Every structure is written in structure tokens, then in C-alpha cells.
Amino acid sequence: MAEPLASPPRLTRELLLGGGLADMIARASPGVRLLTEAERRASLHAALAHRPEHGDGIWLFAYGSLIWNPTISLTDQRPALARGWHRAFCLATRAGRGSPDNPGLLLGLRAGGTCRGVVLRVAEHHLEHELDVLWRREMVTGSYTPRWVAAEDLKGGPLGHALAFTIDDTSHGYAGDLTEEEIVERLATAAGELGTCAEYLFRTCEGLQRMGIKDAALERIATLVAARQAARAVTAQTAPET
């Protein structure tokens, strides 16, 4: 992979609790409407009101950066599978890992197919507080729809339902169907205050691999992005000075 990944993630719990992510988005995209605190809390309470199971906590279904940077307290994590959904680079971002001039791309969970990810356990005794932190991260603009999805272990055994953030294809940030070439170009070049899209991609691949999960499609994108970055570096080194 073309980028060193040793530095700690810039998206932190402290940034989220202080409203830093919302401020970042507001600066980069002043025309985008952000959810109010009341709307965000109403969304959280609605999700909990539709909770299918009650016990000692809930599962979250992580398919992207939540795998390697959850920013919330967890009691367990396991490889898992969600049928009827797949991860895709379908959410445009002009802040965080992109800019207004060069929007980046983030993962969303789209209908159809199968997604191998990780379920994360949040304990019951501080459930609402930890989910408040999560909602400050995932529901700033309302581009996702929180949804309970049936989760299985990788052998097909049921794990119960897990809360997942599925893409809202009516939201302003929905990028729609992009070609592989468009996805690779944006992931290879977009960057913002939280880092690069390439780092987001590479860390997601590494997080999945650490959990014993192989995603051939994502790894193909990572290989192409690394090659695109290497080609850009060669071009920059050989370009004549002006």
C-alpha cells in the first residue's frame, strides 16, 4: 500500500463530543443542512424503539472505519455477515477526507448482495451515551438510515440483529453508481482535515484482514489506488520545474 498507516486516526471521541466533526462539515459545505441536536436524538431514540432484541447490550454492524476506529466503548467484537447488503463507495464527502474542489468517497451499506464485516458489542449500562457519540459521527447530515439487520457468524450461525448505518439514496451526499475508474481516482487523490481517502480505504482493508475477512473487491480497489498514487508520484518527480 502506498501510504504509511502508523499515525493514530484524527477522528477521535473528543472531537465528536466537542462538535468538531459537525463544525468541519459546516465550514466545507455551508449549504448543507446539518441535523439539529433534537433531530439527532430523536433519530437515536427511534432506532432504540425498534430494537428487535433486549438483553445485555446491542450489536453494531461495522463495515468501514468503525472496524478500525470505533471511538466508542465496546465489550466484544466478532467477524460477521449481513445478507441482503453490500459495502460500496457511494457517499461523497467534501469535508474530513475530501474538499469542495475534490470530494472524497466513503463507504455506505447498499441493498443487495452480502457483506462481511464485524459486529461490535455495546454494553447495556451505557448504551445511550455511547450511541450518542456514534450518532455525532454517523448522523451529522442524515446521509445514513440506521437500520437493524440480521447478522450471522461466518459459518452462518445467527448472532441476532445488529444496528447498521445504511445509505440513504435520497440524501444530498449520495454519490450513486460510479465507475471503478471514478472511484479509484477520487480515493487516490481526495484529502481533508481527517486525512486521505486512500488511508480510509487501506485501514479498512487492514481491519478486515485482522479479523480474518477477505473482501476481494475492496482489495482490488486498494491495489488500483496504490498503483494510481505511485504513478502520480513518479509524474510529480519527473515533471519539469517552471
Q: Which residues are catalytic?
A: 138
Q: Given CA atoms 65, 215, 149, 179 in this order, what sign does their dihedral have? A: positive
DSSP-derived 3-state class of residue 49? helix
Selection from 13, 30, 9 nearest residue 136 by Cα: 13
C-alpha cell at 202: 487501506
- For strand 158-167 and strand 57-62, is the pairing parallel, antiparallel, or unpaired? parallel
Residue in this structure with the C-alpha cell 508520484, named with its chain if needed: 233
Spatial CB neighbours of 34, under 8 Å, sequence gap ≥ 6:
22, 25, 26, 140, 141
Contact 138, 167 (CB under 8 A): no
Which amino acid, one-letter code, is at 21? Answer: L
Q: Where are the extended beta strands (E) located within 94-171?
A: 104-123, 144-152, 158-167
Spatial CB neighbours of 42, under 8 Å, sequence gap ≥ 6:
none
